Amino acid sequence: MSKPYTLQELLVIAVAKEIHDHENVILGVGLPTTAGALAKALYAPHATLMMESGIIDFEPLLPLNHIADAHSCRGFSYATDLFSAFTMTYRGFVDVCFLGVGQVDQYGNLNTTCIGDYYKPTMRLPGSGGACDFLSYAKRTVLTMLGGEFVEKLDYFTSPGYLDGGNRREESGLFPQGTGPTMLLSTKGIFRFDPVTKEMYLAQIHPRVKVEDVKKDVPWDLKIAPDLSETPHPTDEEIDFIRHFAPAMSAGRELAMELTIANLMKQVKG
Amino acid sequence: MAAEMSKVMNVRDAIAKFVHDGDELVIGNYTVGSCAELVYEVVRQGRKGLTLYSQSGIFDVEVLIGAGCADKLVSTYVLRAGGKKGGSAVERAMNAGTIQVEDYTNFQYNARMVAGMHGFSYIQVLEGAIATDIFRKRSFMGENKFRIIKCPYTGKENLTVPAANPDVCIVHVQRADKFGNAQYWGALGSVAAAALASKRIVVSCEEIVEHDVIQSSPHLTIIPAYRVDAVCEVPWGANPTEVLGYYNIDQFMYGLFMMMDGTADGLKAWMDEWVFGCENRAAYIDHYVQKFGSKTLDGIRCKPYYSAPANYGSAFTSRWDKDGRERAIGMTLAEFEKTLKERGKLYE
C-alpha cells in the first residue's frame, strides 16, 4: 500500500493524466500548473507547456503565481505575445487546455463572470480572461471545479461548451469539429460527456464518495456510467512529487491560506 | 541624439503633464510587473472620470476604482479578495452604480489594442464568442462593443471589435535609456500593443541605462523612443508585483493588500497608508523597511540568470579597408576622386 494522500493530491494526479506525451498544453493557474509539472515529470516528458501570456515551452520549478509567471521557471524556449498565443490556438495547435469553473451546466457551458445580475452582481467573478477563446478552439478542454457549482441555467454564459447539447456546437459553424470540453474534475469525481447527447455524466468517483453525494450537487438527473470506476490511489512517486513541488497544493486552498495568514500575522507583529 | 532629447522626468511631473481628467487610460502591463507607482501617483493626484483599460485587473485596477478615479472599465479579468465571502472595489462600484464595465476575452481586448497600434479601425476576433453573453451583454459601448461583418473573400461571418487608441498608457519595464527606448522581457503578454496603441506613453523603469545597452540588444526594446513622452526611473516601481531579473512577487505586501481589499473601509485604510501616506516610491520603500525591516525585500531580489548575448557584430564598419581602399571598387579615396573628375562627374 502506498503512503496516505490528500484529496488535492488525488485531484492533481487525475488532471495530470489528461496530458499525453508530445502534446501542446495551455496551463491555467492553480491546480493545472501543478498537474502540468507532474505530467512533465512522470507521464508526458515531451509535452510542450504553454501559457497565454506568451511563455512557451517552460519547465516549472515552482508552482506558478499566475499565467505570466516567468520567475517560476528558469527561462523558456519561446517568448511570444498574448495575441499569438490565441491565434495559434485558433489555428489548432493547442491539444489541451485547462479551465476553472464558477458555474457549469449539463452541456459543459461555463460561467466565470458573475453570480446574480451581470450589471449589479451578487458576486463579481474574474471574467473570461482566456477561457472563452480557449474553450472555443483548443482540441480538448479539461474543466477543474474546486469551488464552483452545477446549475440548470448559467447566470452569465462566459465560455461555450456544447451549447444546447447534441450537435448544436458543431452545427453553429463557430467551432472546429470535435472540439469542446472532454472532462470535468470535481472534488467528488470525474465527469465526461456523452458522445451523442453531449450531456455530462459521472464517469469516475473518488474514494469514500457515494454516488448520492455526487447527485445531490447536480440539479439535473445525472446519468452514471455503467462501468463507473474509482479514482486510483496515488503512487508514492506521485505524492512525493506534488508534496515537494507544491506543498500548498497538497494542503488545499483553505488550509494553505490559513497557514500563510498565520505566518503573515507573525511577520507583521515582528 | 542630443542631451536635450532626454525625456527623463519624476513621476509626479510625468503624471501631472500626461494624464488628464476624463482620459482613456490604459495600464500597459499584464498580470506581472504592474506600473504600481504610476498608478499610485494617478490616485494621489486625484484624477477623475477616467475610462480605464486593463488586460487583467489586479491590485492596480482595485486601487484606481477604489479611489474613484475611473467611471468606466474595459477589461477581461478582475481581482476578488477573500473568495466567496470577500469582495472587490469593482464589485462594490458596480453595485453602487459608479462604474460601468465592458467585459471582453483576453484575445478580444488585446486585438483592440493591436488594431489601434497598427492604425486599423477594427479587427477580426475569434467567432466562438458569438455564442456567449460576452457578445450579447453590452455596457456603455452598446452596438459598438462588437459588430459582425461578412468576409469579402470567404463569405463567412466574422466577429469584429473596434480599434482602441487610449489617450495615455502608463507602463513599467525593466530598463530604458533617457530617450525613452523601453526594454521589457519575460511574459510579453500584451504590453507592447497597449503602449503602441496609445497617443501618449509614460514609462517607468527599474533603471535608466546607457544608450549603447539598448543599441546592442534591440530585440528587447518594445517601445521605441520616438513614441515615448516620459521616462521615470523608479526602483521597486512594480512592488508588490514582480519584475523579471529584478525582484519576485512580494507575497507579504500582496497578502496585506488582499486582507484589506475585501471591504471599502479596509481598502481605504490600506491606501491611506501605502498610497496617500507615501509621497513617492522612495518614501514607500522607506516606510516599508521602517515598519517591517528589510528582510522581505532582500529575500525577493532576483539572482542572475543572464540571457546568452546575441552577437550584433559585423565583419567591418566602414566601406574603406585597413589599407584605405574601398572594399568593392578597390581604390583609395584619392584614386576614386581622381576618377570622378576624369569621368566628368564633379562640378565646381
What is the CB neighbour count within 10 angstroms for residue B58? 23
Please identify among residues 234-253 of chain A the ones whose CB lies closer than 8 Å to any CB of chain B: none
Task: Determine whether the interchain pair B252/A118 forms a contact, defined as Cβ–Cβ distance below 8 Å.
Answer: no
CATH superfamily of the domain spanning B13-148+162-299: Glutaconate Coenzyme A-transferase (3.40.1080.10)
pTM of the predicted structure, to 2 decimals: 0.95
- Distance (Å) from the C-alpha of residue B156 to the closest C-alpha of chain A? 10
pLDDT at B2: 53
- Whether residue A10 contacts residue A217, with contact meaning beta carbons closer than 8 Å, is answered with no
Residues in chain B with CB shorter than 8 Å from the CB of A132 are: 105, 128-129, 132, 134
Per cent of chain A over pLDDT 70 is: 99
A18 is catalytic: no
Q: Is A167 on the interface with B (CB under 8 A)?
A: no
Start-end of H helices in chain A: 7-16, 31-38, 82-90, 131-137, 168-171, 211-215, 236-245, 247-251, 253-269
Rounded CA-CA distance B20/B67 in Å is 16
- Distance (Å) from the C-alpha of residue B317 to the closest C-alpha of chain A? 31
Nearest CA in chain A to B140: A119
Task: Name every residue whose Cβ is closer than 8 Å to that of residue B119 and which is 6 or more positions away in sequence.
Answer: none
Task: Determine whether the interchain pair A128/B128 forms a contact, defined as Cβ–Cβ distance below 8 Å.
Answer: no
Interface test with A, best of B126, B159, B253, B306 (most A CBs within 10 A): B126
| pLDDT (average), residues A223-239 | 97
Per-residue pLDDT band at A268 (split at 50, 70, 90): confident
| pLDDT (average), residues A94-115 | 97
B332 pairs with which residues across the strands?
Answer: B325
Full set of structural domains in chain A with CATH: 7-269 (3.40.1080.10)
Task: Determine whether the interchain pair A82/B110 forms a contact, defined as Cβ–Cβ distance below 8 Å.
Answer: yes
Task: Name every residue whose Cβ is closer than 8 Å to that of residue A265 and which is 6 or more positions away in sequence.
Answer: none
**With a cut of 0.90, is the ipTM above it?**
yes
Looking at A18, A52, A199, A238, which residue is catalytic?
Answer: A52
pLDDT at B4: 65
Q: Is A144 on the interface with B (CB under 8 A)?
A: no
Q: Which of B129, B259, B296 sits opposite A132 (nearest CB)?
A: B129
> Over its length of 348 residues, how does chain B's per-residue pLDDT go in tens digits?
455 689 999 999 999 999 999 999 999 999 999 999 999 999 999 999 999 999 999 999 999 999 999 999 999 999 999 888 889 999 999 999 999 999 999 999 999 999 999 999 999 999 999 999 999 999 999 999 999 999 999 999 999 999 999 999 999 999 999 999 999 999 999 999 999 999 999 999 999 999 999 999 999 999 999 999 999 999 999 999 999 999 999 999 999 999 999 999 999 999 999 999 999 999 999 999 999 999 999 999 999 999 999 999 999 999 999 999 999 999 999 999 999 999 999 999
Answer yes or no: is pLDDT of A206 > 90.
yes
Answer yes or no: is pLDDT of A100 > 70.
yes
Per-residue pLDDT band at A216 (split at 50, 70, 90): very high
Which of B329 and A270 is assigned the larger pLDDT? Answer: B329
Nearest CA in chain A to B97: A120
Rounded CA-CA distance A36/A31 in Å is 9
User: What residues does each domain of chain B span?
Assistant: 13-148+162-299, 315-348
- Distance (Å) from the C-alpha of residue B145 to the closest C-alpha of chain A? 15
- Which residues in chain A belong to E strands, given as ranges? 24-26, 48-50, 55-56, 78-79, 96-100, 103-104, 110-111, 114-116, 121-124, 140-144, 149-150, 181-185, 189-193, 200-205, 223-230
Rounded CA-CA distance A72/A66 in Å is 10
pLDDT at B331: 97
Nearest CA in chain A to B222: A81
Per-residue pLDDT band at A45 (split at 50, 70, 90): very high
